[in-house]
Amino acid sequence: MSIRNGVGFVLWAWLLLTVGGQTILPAAVETVSLDELQRLVVLENGRKMPLDSLAVNALRQISGRSSYRGQAALVWLARVLFTPEQTYRDEIFRVNEPALLPAIGIFSPPRPRYSCWDLSGALAPLEKLARQAADVNDKSRSPVENEALQLYERLDLYFGLLGSFQWALPDESLTVTDPEARRYLDLTEKQIRICFLDLAERSDRIASFAASLSGGKKTNVSPGQREIMRLTTRIDQLVLNHQGRPLRVIPTLDGGVGADGEEWLNPWEVLATGGLKDDAGRREITALVAAQRAFRNHDDVGFNAGLNAFNASVRGRAGGRLFAAGKIGLEIFYNRLDAFVRASWLYGGAVVLLVLALFIGAAWLRLTGIGLLAAGFVLHSGGQVLRMIIGGRPPVTNLFETFIFVAWVAVLLGMLLEASQKKSLGLISGGMAGIFLLFIAGRYTLNGDTMGMLVAVLNTNLWLAVHVATITSGYAGCVIAGIIGHFHLLQRLAHCPDRGRLASSARSIRAALVFGLVFTFLGTAMGGVWADQSWGRFWGWDPKENGALLIIIWLAILLHARRGGIISDLGMAAGSIIALLIVALAWLGVNVLGVGLHSYGFISGVARGLLWFLIVDLIFLAVTLSLARRRSG
Amino acid sequence: MKRTIATHPVFRLLSGLPLTLIGLCLLMAQVIWGTLYQAGHGLFQAKTKIFAAWVYWLAEFIPLPGMRTVAALLFINLLAAVMFRIRHDWSRAGLLLIHYGLMMLLAGSVFAFPPIQESFLTLKEGEKSNLSLAYHQWELAGWRERDGGNRVMTMDAERLRPGQNVEWPLLKMAIRVQRCWVNCRRSGGKLEPMTAMDDPEENLPGGDFLVFSATGQENEPIPVSVFAGQAEPLAFDVKGSRFFLVLRLKHHVLPVTVKLLDFKRTTYPGSMIPRSFQSLVEVESGAGRFQALIAMNRPLRVKGYTFYQSAYSEDVSGAESSTLAVVRNPAGMLPYAATLLMFLGLVVHFFPRQGFRGRR
């Protein structure tokens, strides 16, 4: 991350917090519908998305949750945008590392989340600490330094959103009292504390005033002229502060920046660049002002009418050329569907029922469990397909999507195994893989947008589809084999192990391992071809490549040893658990090393989780294996 | 006859499954160790000491088999297995395909034939060149001013040894190496040796030399110090002729001349996320000239060389330059063929018989 240059963080926060007046208005979100607001198209990190997605991503990033006090993220964002003064005391800022608190001057007992108000006294030390941390190599940063940077980033995001509509709110620093200046600017009696928009509307007068002052040293500057000079300085400061900040909702088709001359501006930039002189610019700014005022006045009709006019204008100018309105609607549906969270709940229910059915033997429980699993799978598949349509790209393009996809393949494999074995083991294993992997995927949503744009080297649908999807399918085979391996060892610890079930699970392990070997090999080979196409070498000993190679070698060892009778079904079960651990290391562990071409997308906390998983699973393996051997021997 | 050989204890050992498993376990250990080693010492050292080594020296004095040795062991094991152990019939077609493919891969890694030549070519817009530079191999180059750079003699820096004489009769010059170092620095007008870096691209070689005119070493030699870190070639006069010496990244002469017409970098709107890097080049060879676009995932292949978009830079004046990686890999199709064989083998061997039921 980068630390903002120019105006200091503390000053920036202070400037924002003093805008909008001291009058705290009652909440408007209970009376205003946000239907039009969610459809607002916004450009964020190169991607055009509905405002609804920005709200979810921002709130997740800041608070770790997708809702605030039971209300949707969009409701929270609407308050931040239109009634910012109401959100200062919202407890949204998570602090994951309690040791940071005393370092920034907070000595009260740690709480999971803090408000902007709680942190207002800590901004100066936080900024200092974050600047120091930014100068440290990311591998050498302490947990406190990492957390300082992340908290800084969360606050920066919040302040960016907080300021995005403040151009239409009266600003304390834009108070004009001098009669000469007021006359010159043609202000009405009520316009004492004016807003940036008021000045933008008088940009010609201010420009001609600046021109009259330039070109010579003025010795007799009147108080009125001094007042206007102060305002021009303040205008420059405000423009600088809001350049490149959210919300970029106004596209310009004649700009020279970005791909194909496409450029999106935030309202501050539109006002600063004389956008009011343009018909479309004036129409859209006016519509936004109307919406903001209506929101603050609890006027549902006015709010939606304003946004509707804005959306219609933007879509009329840019829809179809710069974004597809259909995909925007689809993304809103995807957000509402929350497919992966719901699917994980369904998988959870299915696993509970199927395990109960094993013990009780009730057929209806098993059938209900199968139904829940199938429903979860349909929802899971739907979420995956929606992402592919929205992004217009293959199913796996980032680390988040690897978890989603591997979970999907694992559930599918579980169902295929069940189709042949009919002992519930495949379904339970698939369901467990689904829950576990979707849970980890959920952690990755805290990083922000999960549909971010692809960097140049990944910007190829063919190789992404072929290589990544194939190798992650191989991972899924090993995951299923590993989970069944756990069950196999537990089955052997039973007083009277069911030999039929033991044989069935052994066959399932072998089939899943073979699937894992074939797909990991194919995926690795395809990765080699892609690397050869992109970088000129088939194999480069990159840690991720090595991870895949380790999986292949280990599976080859297991299958050869079993074929040669060197290990039994018990050994295969133990080996499949080790295969699962190797997959975990190849998947996430290499990112800890921080070297190579694939060391991306790692989030703090996963390293610790991975380590615990390895330790616990190895202890499980050692204990169950020794007990099983003693029992069988 | 075959049966007799196959049952011989030595061949049974060589073709046996235990040797396969030992080899695979060793291979696994080396991959793990090499990956961890890479995190601390960089890829080049990991490759040199483990992945491409015959012997790995533990703690600098305990010899352990390097990955090449293990690959050779597995190659012999596989060769013996397909010759003496695995029956050649249609039911084992898949198994045989897998093992033949693997043998091709192992043979490629053991014998590393033919070697891959990797270099780079950096061009500003409008510039052209038929010379690419090595990433970390250096050469000592010398020329006379009066030849105008048309007659340049070179010697690989890694072959320079103290006491060695380098004869360049065409330049009427001979050089005797007094001292040379893989990495050094200039201090007080003298070269000082430094520890070689893990990343060879960080090394700056240098050396002290005696230069003789080619008419005989009875002449008074001229002592010179040449350092890779110096900005300009070292100039000196021998018998009225001006000579230049320089330690520079090794130059490879390409069979084509490449001219950069335009470099284009695009980002996604409103972000710094790179969307594409593209170099429009004009390629000139004996057969004529043509234009080509080199982009990420879209290399240019011409006359056995492949040009990949690798990097770009922009100077203070805003002039863009593009760096193309230049690779010559005569055995480039070997891994393609091997992996294709192996994949076919895996499919034929496992899926028709087993599906998702597992072998009973």
Give me the mean pLDDT over the A132-142 stretch. Answer: 83
Q: Which of A75-84, A417-426, B9-18 has the highest mean pLDDT?
A: A75-84
CA pair distance B310, B314, nearest whole angstrom: 14
Evaluate whether residue A325 is within a structural domain: no
In the predicted structure, residue B134 carries a pLDDT above the cut 60: yes
Give the CA count within 13 Å in the CB-facing half-sphere of B147.
13
Q: Do A534 and B308 touch (CB under 8 A)?
A: yes
* Closest residue of chain B to A508, computed from CA coordinates: B358
On whether the CB atoms of residues A343 and A323 are closer than 8 A, the answer is no
Q: What is the pLDDT of residues A214-272, one digit of tens each?
A: 665 566 778 888 888 888 889 899 999 898 888 999 998 664 444 456 889 999 999 99
| A1: contact with B, CB 8 A cutoff | no
Give B-chain residues touching A47 at CB under 8 angstroms. Answer: 268
Evaluate whether residue A184 is within a structural domain: no
Evaluate whether residue A251 is within a structural domain: no
Q: Single out the residue in A134, A168, A202 at which a domain terminates.
A: A168
Find the farthest-apart pair of alpha carbons in chain A and give their distance in angstroms, rounded. 105
Angstroms from B146 CA to nearest CA on chain A = 40
In the predicted structure, residue B1 carries a pLDDT above the cut 60: no
Q: Do A550 and B275 touch (CB under 8 A)?
A: no
pLDDT score, position A325: 87
Give me the mean pLDDT over the A588-614 stretch. Answer: 68
Evaluate whether residue A268 is within a structural domain: no
Q: What is the pLDDT of residues B18-30, one digit of tens each?
A: 999 999 999 999 9
Give B-chain residues touching A452 at CB under 8 angstroms. Answer: 273
Short-list A384, A395, A386, A387, CA closest to A473: A395
Give me the mean pLDDT over the A386-399 stretch. Answer: 93
3-state SS class at B291: strand
Please tell me which of the candidates B20, B39, B310 has its beta carbon nearest to residue A595.
B39
The DSSP secondary structure of A514-568, one letter per residue, reads HHHHHHHHHHHHHHHHHHHHHHS-S----HHHHHHHHHHHHHHHHHHHHHTTSS-
Residue range(s) defining the domain that contains residue A93 = 9-168
| A392: contact with B, CB 8 A cutoff | no
Q: To which residue do tokens 């942190």 refer?
A: A119
Angstroms from A211 CA to nearest CA on chain B = 31
Q: Is A238 exposed, middle or buried (0-12, 13-18, 19+ CB in 10 A)?
A: buried
Angstroms from A89 CA to nearest CA on chain B = 31
Angstroms from A300 CA to nearest CA on chain B = 32
Evaluate whether residue A264 is within a structural domain: no
| A550: contact with B, CB 8 A cutoff | yes
Evaluate whether residue A188 is within a structural domain: no
Please tell me which of the candidates A258, A528, A541 has its beta carbon nearest to residue B335.
A528
Q: Single out the residue in A119, A138, A168 at which a domain terminates.
A: A168
On whether the CB atoms of residues A582 and A550 are closer than 8 A, the answer is yes
CA pair distance A241, A5, nearest whole angstrom: 9
CA pair distance A446, A400, nearest whole angstrom: 10
Q: What does chain B come to in residues?
A: 360
3-state SS class at A393: coil
CA pair distance A232, B55, nearest whole angstrom: 73
On whether the CB atoms of residues A170 and A20 are closer than 8 A, the answer is yes
Q: Do B346 and A521 touch (CB under 8 A)?
A: yes
* Closest residue of chain A to B294, computed from CA coordinates: A534
Pairs from A379-383 (Cβ < 8 Å, separation ≥ 24): A379/A337, A379/A339, A379/A342, A379/A343, A379/A346, A380/A339, A380/A340, A380/A343, A380/A404, A380/A407, A380/A408, A380/A411, A380/A434, A380/A438, A381/A408, A382/A337, A382/A339, A383/A334, A383/A337, A383/A339, A383/A340, A383/A343
Evaluate whether residue A406 is within a structural domain: yes
Instruction: Give exposure, A393-412, as e/b (b: 16+ Cβ within 10 Å).
Output: bbbbbbbbbbbbbbbbbbbb
Q: To which residue do tokens 């899926």 refer?
A: B351
Give me the mean pLDDT over the B155-168 stretch. Answer: 90
Q: Do A257 and B269 touch (CB under 8 A)?
A: yes
What six digits make up the tokens of B152?
Answer: 């340049």
| A196: contact with B, CB 8 A cutoff | no
pLDDT score, position A480: 97
On whether the CB atoms of residues A235 and A199 are closer than 8 A, the answer is yes
Angstroms from A139 CA to nearest CA on chain B = 12
Q: Do B275 and A459 touch (CB under 8 A)?
A: yes
CA pair distance A23, A245, nearest whole angstrom: 26
What six digits make up the tokens of A146?
Answer: 């990492």
| A554: contact with B, CB 8 A cutoff | yes
Helix axes A339-360, A425-444, angle to 10 degrees: 150
Domain count, chain A: 2
Give me the mean pLDDT over the B116-137 stretch. Answer: 93
Distances (CA, A) of A39 to A48, A80, A390, A515: 11, 17, 15, 43
Q: Do B350 and A453 touch (CB under 8 A)?
A: no
Give A-chain residues touching B20 at CB under 8 angstroms. Answer: 560
pLDDT score, position A600: 47
Evaluate whether residue A323 is within a structural domain: no
Q: Single out the residue in A168, A197, A228 at which a domain terminates.
A: A168
Q: Do A46 and B269 touch (CB under 8 A)?
A: yes
- Confidence class for position B112, pLDDT limits 50, 70, 90: low
Please tell me which of the candidates A514, A522, A553 has its beta carbon nearest to residue B31.
A553
Give A-chain residues touching B273 at CB under 8 angstroms. Answer: 45-46, 452-453, 455
φ/ψ of B60, rounded to 5, equals: 70, -5
Higher pLDDT, B216 or A511: A511
CA pair distance A352, A346, nearest whole angstrom: 10
